[in-house]
Amino acid sequence: MRACLATLQACLEALGSSSALSAELRAASSFYGVELWGWLRRGQPMLWRRLGELLSSSLRLHLSAIFSEEEDAEPDPLLATMRQRVREHVAAHGPEAYTTTGTEESFSSVITTNLLLMHRHAPSLAPGTAAGAALAAAAADDECAAALHELPAEMKDSLLAWAHAHSLLQQIFGPREPLGKLMKLPVNVPHFARLSALASVASALESRGSCDEAYLAPLRDIPQLQRDLHTKATWAKVAHETLLVFAKRRTTRAKRGEAADK
């Protein structure tokens, strides 16, 4: 069976580059050839990646509907307050720390980018890791903060990236009353419901195996995301304040290196 599928994949690949076929047929052959190759080589279910892309785009659509305002419409005070809070946070902590600021990029991009960063660097804080132990100790006792400085540079980078993403998301999802009002607006209720359903699918796919959209899973339960952000708020604050000097020194060295190259 596997040999037959391998032959089929080779045929699809050949058809995808055949000038005798129309552009549409070549594209279809290439598409299914790639999907079959993924299953044969990596055991990845066919159309798995496409499902992930559909999940991601659908989630972004509902986030945009919730956090974006229509042109020429009256400014929404709730959204205006959130944006202002993000702008002030970025200005206070250094815009170089953030890939999106919330001023130029859409709010949906801000949310998904920082959810991805928080998910990517969360393993650094896992129980039993050196970074997680050092951060927990520093959060419990200021005198233990020195242990964070003794971590390898890549661990400190990871902790800072996690802390930046966590603290920015907290500006959006942290305040209970504004978020509660936003979720209860009649126009937003169906969008939050769809957001929860789609994020639950991402969570289910993660439990079954690889899922590139697993970072979106926290959106399945916004109140729980809010509680999780508050629970780790002290950790994020300690990581940022303790390692900020390290980050600034690294940036200064990098700028000096660039100047020397010129």
The contacts found for 147-153 with CB under 8 angstroms, 24 or more apart, are: 148/238, 148/239, 148/242, 148/243, 149/242, 149/243, 149/246, 153/246, 153/250
In sequence order, the 6+-apart residues with CB closer than 8 A to the CB of 103 are 83, 86, 87, 90
> CA nearest 237: which of 173, 148, 106?
148
Q: What is the mean pLDDT of the chain?
A: 79
Whole-structure pTM value: 0.74
pLDDT score at 105? 53
- The 3-state DSSP class for residue 236 equals helix
In sequence order, the 6+-apart residues with CB closer than 8 A to the CB of 33 are 9, 12, 13, 15, 16
Q: How confident is the model at residue 143 (pLDDT cuts 50, 70, 90)?
A: confident
In this prediction, what percent of the chain has a pLDDT beyond 70? 74
pLDDT score at 192? 94
pLDDT score at 47? 59
Residue 175 has pLDDT above 60, yes or no: yes
Residue 107 has pLDDT above 70, yes or no: yes
Q: How confident is the model at residue 85 (pLDDT cuts 50, 70, 90)?
A: confident
Q: How confident is the model at residue 28 (pLDDT cuts 50, 70, 90)?
A: confident
Q: How confident is the model at residue 54 (pLDDT cuts 50, 70, 90)?
A: confident
pLDDT score at 103? 43
Token output for 99: 């890939």
Strand positions, DSSP E, the chain:
none
State the amino acid at position 176 in one-letter form: R
Higher-pLDDT residue of 252 and 54 is 54
Residue 42 has pLDDT above 70, yes or no: no
Q: How confident is the model at residue 210 (pLDDT cuts 50, 70, 90)?
A: low
In a 13 Å sphere around the CA of 67, the CA atoms on its Cβ side amount to: 23
Q: What is the mean pLDDT of residues 218-241?
A: 92
Per domain, the residue ranges of the chain are 1-46, 47-261
**Vertex 71: Cα angle to 75 and 76 (nearest 5):** 15
pLDDT score at 1? 63
Q: How confident is the model at residue 40 (pLDDT cuts 50, 70, 90)?
A: low
d(CA 181, CA 189): 11
